[in-house]
Structure 1
Amino acid sequence: MPSQLLKEFLDENDIKYVSIMHSMAFTAVEVAKSAHIPSRELAKTVILNVDDELVMAVVPANYKVDLDILRQTLDTKKIQLAKESEFTPHFKDCEVGAMPPFGCLYDMDVYIAESLSEDDTIAFNAGSHLEAIQMNYKDYENLVKPRFIFLDN
């Protein structure tokens, strides 16, 4: 089931978006393939524990998260992938692994790969393994106010 919280938030802010239904997919690369979106253009949400705070790292679907690079980029010593048990209580309206990159809805800071800002649109999981949302990137940036991270893949 798609995130009702996300859709209400987008509608309340008069944001135009497209829902893309696709076959069941559990990895970001599978979602991109199923939804016919280049994997470098589909954003995946990775939940990290940085200095005992949960944050979102939003990276292209084809990117493999390198904690050493993120540690340097975020200038922190303590960083790790968050455990499901740590973050699932925050995402009651989402299926595990299909969280949308809207930290503002889940009380988390968002760090986004700068490369995702290069396109006019951004696509991402809509809270389920069957639906993605595509919207204008500038609208996303204005709503979420992510901090940029510069990553090489």
Structure 2
Amino acid sequence: MGVAATLENYLKAKQVDFTLLEHEYCEGSYNTARVAQINDLCLAKAVLLRDEDFHYTLCVLPTRNKILRKTLNEILDRHLELVDEEELTAIFKDCEEGAVPALGEAYGLDVIWDEDLLQVEEVYIEAGDHRHLIRLRQIDFAQLMQDKLHDHFSADRARQSKLPKKYIRQEYEL
């Protein structure tokens, strides 16, 4: 499949150059970073949440992080919940199930992105399937996100885990 048509059209309309990184099939953002051999701080995962009025917000954060929902709810002054798979499939019609691209504007969604993504030179996002990632230069990612809400609403899973240290995955360096 490569790049979802909606996403490709959006990037062309925004005149943003990107490259495509192919990797072995895998599901889950942490697994994708490992298989693609990229740092999990560089892979921007997209998590779709909604409030009780069905107002959707796509949260974009580094794969290594988890959303601090209380912080996010305070930032947005709403009570957000994770959407179910049926809703994801209905919104991201040209994407494989679970391969949600981090460019919500392409799909008419409000977006909030975590400022931890400013720490990296390149940002990778799902291309719409489980075999490809879009590689964006930081300057291009910043351009795409310039008018979107941003803040710190996530934290590194390892630092937030209540599990004993021996059960926390080891960070890897490339």
> Under a length normalisation based on structure 2, what TM-score does the superposition of the two structures give?
0.80
For 2:116, the equivalent position in structure 1 comes to 115
Q: Is the 8 A contact 2:88 2:97 kept in 1?
A: no
Give the root-mean-square deviation of aligned CA atoms.
1.6
For 1:84, the equivalent position in structure 2 comes to 85
Q: Is the 8 A contact 1:94 1:128 kept in 2?
A: yes
Structure possessing the higher radius of gyration over alpha carbons: 2
Q: Is the 8 A contact 1:54 1:87 kept in 2?
A: no
CA distance in 1: counterparts of 2:51 and 2:67, whole angstroms: 14
Q: Give the SS at the match of 1:73.
A: helix
Identical residues among aligned pairs (%): 28
CA distance in 2: counterparts of 1:110 and 1:13, whole angstroms: 16
Residues matched between the structures, number: 152
Structure 1 regions of 5+ residues with no counterpart? Answer: none
Structure 2 regions of 5+ residues with no counterpart? Answer: 157-174
Shift of 1:139: 1.7
Shift of 1:4: 1.8
Give a deviation string over 1:1-46, Cα, whole Å, max 9, x none. 2312212322343322110000111110111111111011110000
Q: Is the 8 A contact 2:6 2:107 kept in 1?
A: no
Task: Please tell me whether residue 68 in structure 1 is matched to residue 70 in structure 2.
Answer: yes
For 1:137, the equivalent position in structure 2 comes to 138
For 1:53, the equivalent position in structure 2 comes to 55
CA distance in 2: counterparts of 1:137 and 1:97, whole angstroms: 24
Q: Is the 8 A contact 2:41 2:120 kept in 1?
A: no
CA distance in 1: counterparts of 2:67 and 2:97, whole angstroms: 18
CA distance in 1: counterparts of 2:113 and 2:31, whole angstroms: 21
Shift of 1:55: 1.0
Q: Give the SS at the match of 2:65.
A: coil
Task: Please tell me whether residue 33 in structure 1 is matched to residue 34 in structure 2.
Answer: yes
